[in-house]
A and B are shown apart, each in its own frame.
Chain A
Amino acid sequence: MSLSFQKIILKLQEYWADYGCVILQPYDMEMGAGTFHPATALSSLGPKPWNAAYVQPSRRPGDGRYGENPRRTQYFYQFQVILKPAPANSQELYLDSLRHLGLDIPNHDLRFVEDDWESPTLGAAGLGWEVWCDGMEVTQFTYFQQVGGIHCEPVSTEITYGLERIATVIQGIDSHFDIDWNGVQGPGKLTYHDVLMEQEKQFSAYNFEYANVQDLFENFEKYGRECTELLSHKLVYPAYEHCIKASHAFNLLQARGVIGVAERAEYIAKVRALAKACCDVYLEQSAQKA
């Protein structure tokens, strides 16, 4: 019997806890990737060692397909691992985590394919790979070089598992919606479809058709102002939250189709400036604490 979705998460937490990561909880806010969680975005800056792992539900409004696409949804789960400083055996640790999930590696084709991940809104960039399993990307593996435009010193390893993708490999199925969520046989069985299909349909409609555009524009401005205001009081964590809120508002506006090509660059620049400001204050504060 292959692992259920919830078991996969438990096993990954178990594996990384055994390694020495603190197992955190997801950040309780809308964000596009696990990287936006302060445990990665902020903690990867500065010299303090840090090993953390957590599930992060992620939202990419533009990727909604009303539940009709078997592999693409506007809401999905990432399992995020951040190891600072980057261990010399980072790749081996990752491969062993897959073995811990029961993946019989020589029977699967695993390749590290060049991909240098970047987040223009966070000003984050790194070098690394997409990990392909049997022709499918299942993980993003990145050595962070900068966040908020600031050099990371020391460099961290970021491993971002696409949990749905991994589950389809482990369970040998085709569609995310067929994922066995709770590993129960018989009437109690819950699939991904059972748990999330309705949300997927409704949120796709919300993202593309119903989200209030006027409110979103106003919110974007408000969050930006609040972020800057809070930074002047050195409240970097509340400030950073507002930066993330602004970023999500921008993602929704894009999904609604109201942001033109030229304007897009401006919005990204604005969020990036907020992110950079937060990172600067964060570094300042952590230096003072040291």
Chain B
Amino acid sequence: MDLNEFVFELYGEEIPARFQLSAQAQFHDLFIKMSGEKGLKVENTRTYITPQRLILRACVSAEIPAQTINKRGPRLDAPLKAIEGFCKSIHVPPEQLEKREGYYYVTYTIPAEDAKDILPGVMNETLLAMSWPKTMRWPKSPTPWVRPVHHAFAILLGKPFIFSLPLFNLKTTDHIFGHRFLAPKALFPSSFSDYKNQLIDSFVVIDHKERQALIHEKLKKEAESHQLTLIDDQKLLEETAGLVEYPGIFIGRLDPKLFGAPEEAITTSMRFHQKCFAFRDPTQKLAPFFAAIINTIPKDGGKALTQGYEMGMLKARLEDARFFYEQDLKTPLIAYKPKLDGIIFHEKLGTVGDKLKRLHHMASIFSSTKDYLNLSRAIDLCKSDLLTHMVGEFAELQGIMGEIYARQQGETEDVSRALREYYQPTGAGDNVPIAFLSVTLGLLDKIDTLTGFVGHGILPTGSKDPFALRRTALGILRLLFNQGEETDLTKLITLSMEAYALHHRPLKEDTLNNILSFMQTRLVFLLKEEGFPHDVIQACLPTLDKGLSFDCAMIRAKTEAFTVLLKAQEGKDLISGFKRACSIVDTESKKDNVTEYTFSIQDLVLKSEIGLYAHLEKVQRYLTDLPLTQKNLSKWFSELASFVQPIYTFFEDVIVNDPDPILRRNRLGLLSQVIALYQSLADFRKIE
């Protein structure tokens, strides 16, 4: 079938940079979906986005071919009303019905539909289905959208394709416009490559990724020509590519005297407030240069905009940063501690001062260790930087400034570093710290936060998680995964609840269970993300019972070990033997309506059942002396795998459902004991 090229552009006012990439993907997926629903065949769909344009290019079939439908109606002996009803519903008189194999049938043809008649509906449906995080209304349009749109363009098979877009009260046209400032004139492309090239000539790069690459290239080139190295910033690269249709670049100089504040403060201000890139000089120091991605190519070579860029907001911000830094250094971090009693952490959870008291209470379990003094010091200082001028101005510098000020003021290296690291991990790709102080402080702080919110009935719902509790929970899990043994969440939460009772108010009774279920969901999520199979994960989860331990690292270790072991033949045999045992015990206990079978050695008769019992006893004795730790996991697994042969032999030689009820009951009892032994390691019943 012939495929025709279809190009569509929706043109309007600047779409926020942070929405663009997902909008591009949505537009693509929705177009394919809506075409499919209407029966229109499309191929090679590509979408593009600039701050002002939403673009689509696809190859669409010229038509939906005619279809012959053969529809079955009521039985030949159906009441007249049913037959009449059928005829009415398909608009066919009874005479035209066919009779076949006891039923009425009707054959009719749906005529071919021209793509020209279908595409407008597809485009309207596609755009209507798009969802933006925020939309607005404007006078001309009946439909809210991210920002006003004023113009549309479409061509089909090289010719202007004019149709209505009632959702915006617009009509497509035969032209587009070049860059708003550099080449605003109308253009009349007749193919996609024409469209793309005419726009490039008019200073518009339609592909987001291409703009990113262009920006990166220009930055690298400028860096080289000034003997500098670019400080890479992927997020800023993406953002700036969403702020321009054509990435021009401006390199400006900074007065080195402005560099009084620490590097992190300077680059944060440059990146966050001014959307500028920073560089390093050959000695790896921060270079007195910045790069701005501009939406123009100044004819005067940048003379006019230099003033604004070099003397404007960036300079003012860096001066502020330097001023704040100098002021902050005058106050030792510990001096802020009493003020924290006046800062509310959350209206339900008391002050930051209360939080510190609770952290101290939890930390007391380490009082006999050599790190205890440092841990106490780190707790005392960890929230101080929130009250500094610098963090007051640049909230994202929390922790970073803590470390810098601590070091400057003579705190130990471990304590200083912990003040920054204890926030980590903050997101999926973030580093997980390994230093004892950082990990411990991080765990205690996160657990205190999670316990407090859940203990007051605040849990995330659906899409609302204003206190980022999911992220906190994931952080706790990733910290615990890195620990060796002793990662019992139950113990930690119980300790935290104690702290709340002492230094704020007691929490609800069911807090522990609520947190554990919440954590369990997050745990399953993390393990699934790592690629572990669903059934293995479920098998390794503990039963959530008050008081029972919830050892996160162990759960992960089990999941990891079993995923590997169960792929091998030995693992497969182990499961099949287990399943065989379960199957017969479950079936029989249902028939008998009992929950368990008793077992006694003296009722063992055949060699294989004695052999199975002997093996069971041997393994039980061995495992009693082998604690279930991460190190011993594979040994435990091997012991269970060793049942494969005895079980196989048992089922070969022994008839479980022996006519003798004593023998039968005993054999079921023996199998139950084997099952119980397996279940003490993991819930093997969940393995598929």
What would be 13 A-B contacts, judged by CB atoms less than 8 Å apart? A104-B304, A105-B296, A108-B308, A109-B298, A111-B14, A112-B14, A114-B17, A114-B18, A136-B312, A143-B137, A173-B307, A174-B315, A261-B344
Instruction: Give me the 10 closest cross-chain CB pairs, A-B, nearest first.
Output: A134-B308, A114-B16, A109-B294, A112-B14, A127-B136, A85-B139, A136-B312, A107-B304, A134-B305, A174-B311
CA of A107 to CA of B301, assembled, Å: 8
Q: Which residues of A contact B363 (CB under 8 A)?
A: none
* Residue contact A155 to B304, C-beta cutoff 8 Å: no
CA of A169 to CA of B310, assembled, Å: 12
In angstroms, how far is the closest chain B Cβ from the Cβ of A269? Answer: 15
* Residue contact B136 to A155, C-beta cutoff 8 Å: yes
Using known A-B contacts A71-B316, A261-B344, A262-B344, determine if residue A111 contacts B139 with beta carbons closer than 8 Å.
no
Q: Which of A174-195 contact B (CB under 8 A)?
A: 174
User: CB-CB contacts of A101-117 with B at 8 A, as 1s and 0s?
Assistant: 00011111111111010
Q: Which residues of B contact A143 (CB under 8 A)?
A: 136-138, 148
* Residue contact B316 to A106, C-beta cutoff 8 Å: no
* Residue contact A108 to B134, C-beta cutoff 8 Å: no
In angstroms, how far is the closest chain B Cβ from the Cβ of A131? Answer: 10
* Residue contact B313 to A136, C-beta cutoff 8 Å: yes
* Residue contact A135 to B347, C-beta cutoff 8 Å: no
Q: Which of these, B16, B51, B296, contacts A106 with CB under 8 Å?
A: B296
Q: Which residues of A contact B243 (CB under 8 A)?
A: 111, 113
Q: Is B299 an interface residue (CB 8 A)?
A: yes
CA of A85 to CA of B137, assembled, Å: 11
Q: Which residues of A contact B51 (CB under 8 A)?
A: 112
* Residue contact A91 to B13, C-beta cutoff 8 Å: yes
Q: Is A3 an interface residue (CB 8 A)?
A: no
* Residue contact B304 to A129, C-beta cutoff 8 Å: no
CA of A257 to CA of B16, assembled, Å: 36
* Residue contact A109 to B299, C-beta cutoff 8 Å: no
CA of A107 to CA of B309, assembled, Å: 13
Closest chain B residue to A134, Cβ basis: B308
Question: Which of A71, A127, A261 has the most CB atoms of chain B within a 10 A radius of its CB?
Answer: A127
Using known A-B contacts A88-B150, A135-B276, A155-B137, determine if residue A108 contacts B313 with beta carbons closer than 8 Å.
no
Q: Is B274 an interface residue (CB 8 A)?
A: yes
Q: Which residues of A contact B140 (CB under 8 A)?
A: 88
In angstroms, how far is the closest chain A Cβ from the Cβ of B343? Answer: 8
* Residue contact A109 to B14, C-beta cutoff 8 Å: no
User: CB-CB contacts of B177-211 with A at 8 A, as 1s and 0s?
Assistant: 00001100000000000000000000000000000
How many A-B pairs have beta carbons closer than 8 Å: the answer is 113
Q: Is A145 an interface residue (CB 8 A)?
A: yes
Apart from A136-B313, A154-B139, list 19 A-B contacts with CB within 8 A: A86-B139, A86-B148, A91-B13, A105-B181, A106-B297, A106-B299, A107-B305, A109-B305, A109-B309, A111-B294, A134-B307, A135-B274, A135-B309, A136-B308, A143-B137, A155-B137, A173-B311, A174-B315, A261-B343
Q: Which residues of B contact A106 (CB under 8 A)?
A: 181-182, 296-299
In angstroms, how far is the closest chain B Cβ from the Cβ of A167? Answer: 12
In angstroms, how far is the closest chain B Cβ from the Cβ of A67? Answer: 15
* Residue contact A108 to B139, C-beta cutoff 8 Å: no
CA of A112 to CA of B242, assembled, Å: 11
Q: Is B520 an interface residue (CB 8 A)?
A: no
In angstroms, how far is the closest chain B Cβ from the Cβ of A260? Answer: 8
* Residue contact A86 to B138, C-beta cutoff 8 Å: yes
Q: Which residues of B contact A88 (CB under 8 A)?
A: 139-140, 148, 150
* Residue contact A155 to B308, C-beta cutoff 8 Å: no
In angstroms, how far is the closest chain A Cβ from the Cβ of B243? Answer: 6
In angstroms, how far is the closest chain B Cβ from the Cβ of A139? Answer: 14
Name A's B-contacting residues (CB within 8 A). Answer: 69-71, 85-86, 88, 90-91, 104-114, 116, 126-127, 129, 133-137, 143, 145, 154-155, 168-169, 172-174, 261-262
CA of A173 to CA of B308, assembled, Å: 8
Closest chain A residue to B151, Cβ basis: A88
Q: Which residues of A contact B297 (CB under 8 A)?
A: 106
CA of A71 to CA of B300, assembled, Å: 27
Q: Which residues of B contact A145 (CB under 8 A)?
A: 136-137
Closest chain A residue to B305, Cβ basis: A134
Using known A-B contacts A88-B150, A109-B294, A172-B307, determine if residue A70 contacts B139 with beta carbons closer than 8 Å.
no
In angstroms, how far is the closest chain A Cβ from the Cβ of B134? Answer: 6
User: CB-CB contacts of B132-155 with A at 8 A, as 1s and 0s?
Assistant: 001111111000000110100000
Q: Which of these, A107, A109, A126, A174, contacts B292 with CB under 8 Å?
A: A109
Q: Which residues of A contact B344 (CB under 8 A)?
A: 261-262
CA of A86 to CA of B139, assembled, Å: 6
Q: Is B61 an interface residue (CB 8 A)?
A: no
* Residue contact B347 to A262, C-beta cutoff 8 Å: yes
Q: Which residues of B contact A262 (CB under 8 A)?
A: 344, 347
CA of A113 to CA of B135, assembled, Å: 16
Q: Which residues of B contact A113 (CB under 8 A)?
A: 243
Q: Which residues of A contact B313 (CB under 8 A)?
A: 71, 135-137
* Residue contact A135 to B308, C-beta cutoff 8 Å: yes
Q: Is B54 an interface residue (CB 8 A)?
A: no
Closest chain A residue to B14, Cβ basis: A112
Question: Which of B14, B250, B297, B344 has the most CB atoms of chain A within a 10 A radius of its CB?
Answer: B14
User: CB-CB contacts of B600-628 with A at 8 A, as 1s and 0s?
Assistant: 00000000000000000000000000000
Q: Is B26 an interface residue (CB 8 A)?
A: no
Q: Which residues of A contact B513 (CB under 8 A)?
A: none
Q: Which residues of A contact B300 (CB under 8 A)?
A: 107
Q: Which residues of A contact B343 (CB under 8 A)?
A: 261
